[in-house]
Amino acid sequence: MAPIVPPLSGRKRRIAVMTSGGDSPGMNGAIRAVIRMAIEVGCESYAVLEGYEGLVQGGDLIKRMDWEDVRGWQSEGGTLIGTARCLAFYERAGRLKGAKNMILNGIDALIICGGDGSLTGADKFRTEWPSLIGELVKTGELTQEQIDPFKQLNIVGLVGSIDNDMSGTDATIGCFSALANICEMIDKVEATAASHSRAFVVEVMGRHCGWLALMAGVATGADFVFIPEKPRSENWRDEMCKVIARHREIGKRKTIVIVAEGAHDMQGNKISSEMLRELLADKKGLALDTRITVLGHVQRGGTACAYDRYLATLQGVEAVRAVLDATPDTPTPFIAINENKITRKPLVQAVLDTQAVAKAIENQDFERAMSLRDTEFSDFHQAYLTTTTADLDDARRLPDKKRMRIGIIHVGAPAGGVNAATRAAVAYCLTRGHTPIAIHNGFAGFARHHDDKPLGAVREFDWLEVDGWASKGGSEIGMNRELPGDSGMELIASLFSKYKFDGLFIIGGFEGFHALSQLREAREKYSSLCIPMTLLPATISNNVPGTEYSLGSDTCLNELVAYCDKIKQSASASRRRVFVIETQGGRSGYVATLAGLAVGAVAVYTPEEGINIQMLAADITHLKEVFQQDSGQSRAGRLILVNEKASTVYTAKLIADMIKVEANGRFESRDSIPGHVQQGGVPSPMDRTRAVRLAIKCIEHLESYEDRGDGAILSDSHSATVIGIKGAQVVFSPMKEVEEIETDWKNRRPLNEFWTPLKEVVDVLSGRPKDIPRPESPLMGWRAKDKKRGLL
């Protein structure tokens, strides 16, 4: 007879986590978050090893997990608790065994990270649960007393899939890491393609979902892309050859064609890599030296990128909350993200919608297949078509009288994605017949252009030049922090008149925001400034009011997380070392906080919260206790992240020195400053793709004002805007409103920073004591407010 499990009221709740289906980068971060959050809220944590196979087999494959068991897991690839195919679970007999093993281990909640098939199986398991436990009693496998505490099974799904094929969410755990792998490979292939003037056909994963192929096409500026949801026209061969021939005609030395493994034509016939190679190499056609690169499983390998790490972490935390909130009537949820907001959605409907896409593709109903994808997917598809066929589609050109001269200027410090945004803006302008004009070296270069020895230049963009900018970091036309007011507003206004600008597109950080504010205010005085203007935020600090996301912030986090991984490796070699790392970010703690979430920092110090001696003393005491309990077999070193302006006194070096002295030889500490490494490198796929989507939306917005006079511009608050992601939406916010309501001018950041509740999540998952003394700060009101809202 199996042991009797104590009634639920007399013990802690037990929550199990498992991974199923294929592995995805980031899964280990989700497992860590579930286990530690469950412990934090007073539950016991279990891991089911080897997926559903572990559930069916039971025994040692269902393992109790403690806090330290998952330390350092975020930087590990794959899934450390294993995943395996389990044919037994497809049958009721297998599910009966799984139910019995859960009850014997006292588990009444299961959080599963996997694809739609794995999550469908989980929902079926929950639906059958009453009949399964009833049958176990009837057959004598369990007693009524044993099953009484477990009449309800709570299940929550986390979607781990590199294909990003689940409907209802913008991103699945692992998809951006896979996209990063693809873009890295394509960037390398492009170099050899350009050297030899070759064409490459690159095949990526995606049987029923073209997200990876489409995003890779947007991020790398590929010449042609094939996806399952939207086959090309009947004469796709001629269409592809026309586009590529035009690109070669204007001087391109490389050709990249990306094809998803599930791509097909309008009749459902497969389009293979070999078929494309033969077409490109045909001596009667393009006659290009063409090679095939099939990326295969390299796409899903390696460690997770920063986004997948903190997405997995936040979704893992939310999954535990969803388990605790569940009632017998609650539909099985899965945790989704829309734009920038973590949400819960019904799992069954999402799975049905996902399966409906594959069915629509099979039935050649491609309009329905696209409609079942989210709006972002359609936006990216249209953005890709716009940027790859620039100046080729006569039907999309506006009449002469509606065409505009649009100035494009970069203001602030370099950030990943600035060049990709510029390329997309230029492509859209050329497609519509507008004239895109480059203003070199910011307002400083613009103001000095009239000198005998100009420091900058104002000229029309050349498409061939910008076409290669998709993957370039920095700013190809130059940028600096000088404001138009510094150069002299009268001079700037006269230059606007001289070059007859009809619109202005600013890409930049807080300086770009400030510049647009000055230009808006000067409109009353200078008629030449009465034109539509919009800002696309681009700064690693992510401190521009009006948006929760700025171009470059994701690239910065990737660079910082990679740096921290290397530091942790060094620290783990000595086993007893703390590294104090100084991050950039100005007076915004976004970078430090999100990086802390992604790398599992022991503590994060931000300007919003500040640092005092009592806080440092408490953290050092905590470190002493941690190392006293640590037997030395732990997987990784410990990190503290300090924003560069968190304190004018307590620098990273001083904090490291204090820790070293107080450690009294029991452990070591070092400081490390990555500095401008955080700004550099190849832009991340997220920064590249979002740059394209948002830049095109900006030019479309400017375009809507092409026939307005001064009075209409002055009276329309949306004639000067900042584009941004707010919650689950992309919005254009009027500058005047953002300046007055949302901006902390003194500290150069938004008044209400959306990410501040995440600071407490970092503390909770790192095990930092709750009674750490906090400096008195006007921004600390978020703590009580968000606890009330249930965010913490």
Q: Catalytic positions, please?
A: 163
* Token pair belonging to 408: 């494009």
SS (H, E, C) 474-500: CCCCCCECCCHHHHCHHHHHHHHHHCC
Q: Would you tell me the crossing angle of helices 781-788 and 756-766 to the nearest 10 degrees?
A: 80
User: Would you list the DSSP string of 573-622?
Assistant: HHSSEEEEEEE--TT--HHHHHHHHHHT-SEEE-TTT---HHHHHHHHHH
432, two tokens: 């519509």
Run of H or E residues at 383: helix 375-388
DSSP 7: P
Q: How many residues does the structure list for the chain?
A: 792
96: nearest Cα among 52, 62, 39, 45: 52
Torsions phi, psi for 740 (to 5 deg): -85, -30
For residue 54, give both structure tokens.
Answer: 């572990």
| Distance separating alpha carbons of residues 116 and 355, to the nearest angstrom | 9
Q: What 3-state DSSP class applies to 393?
A: coil
| Those residues with Cβ within 8 angstroms of residue 515's Cβ, 6 or more apart along the chain or in another chain | 411, 443, 483, 484, 506, 508
372 alpha-carbon distance from chain centroid: 22
What does the alpha-carbon distance between residue 114 and residue 20 come to, in Å, rounded to a whole number? 5
Element (H, E) at 643: strand 638-643
At 664, list the tokens: 């009294």
**Between helices 92-104 and 116-138, what is the axis angle to 10°?**
80
Judge whether 678 and 559 are in contact, CB under 8 Å. Answer: yes
User: d(Cα 512, Cα 552) in Å, to the nearest integer?
Assistant: 14
Look up residue 217 and give its two tokens: 């096409």
The strands making up 44-48's β-sheet, listed across from edge to edge, are: 62-65, 44-48, 14-19, 109-114, 154-159, 333-338, 341-346
Report how far apart, in Å, the C-alpha atoms of 438 and of each of 443, 445, 478 are.
12, 11, 10
- Concatenating the DSSP letter of every residue in 644-670 gives TTS-SS--HHHHHHHHHHHHTTSSEEE
Binding residues for Mg(2+): 116
Q: Where are the beta strands (DSSP E) in 391-457?
A: 405-411, 435-439
For the chain, the maximum distance between any two Cα atoms, rounded to a whole number of angstroms, is: 96
List the 224-226 sheet strands across, edge first: 224-226, 255-260, 199-204, 290-294
Q: From the annotation, which residues make up the binding site for ATP?
A: 22, 85-86, 115-118
Instruction: Answer positive or negative: Cα dihedral of 631, 634, 636, 640.
Output: negative
* Rounded Cα–Cα distance for residues 213 and 257 (Å): 10
Binding-site residues for beta-D-fructose 2,6-bisphosphate: 481, 539-543, 577, 584-586, 644, 670, 676-679, 748
Residue type, 222: A
**CA pair distance 49, 52, nearest whole angstrom:** 8
* Amino acid letter, 294: V
- Could you give the angle at the alpha carbon of 542 between the alpha carbons of 741 and 734, nearest 5°? 35
- Binding-site residues sit at 22, 85-86, 115-118, 161-163, 198, 205-207, 261, 291, 297-300, 481, 539-543, 577, 584-586, 644, 670, 676-679, 748
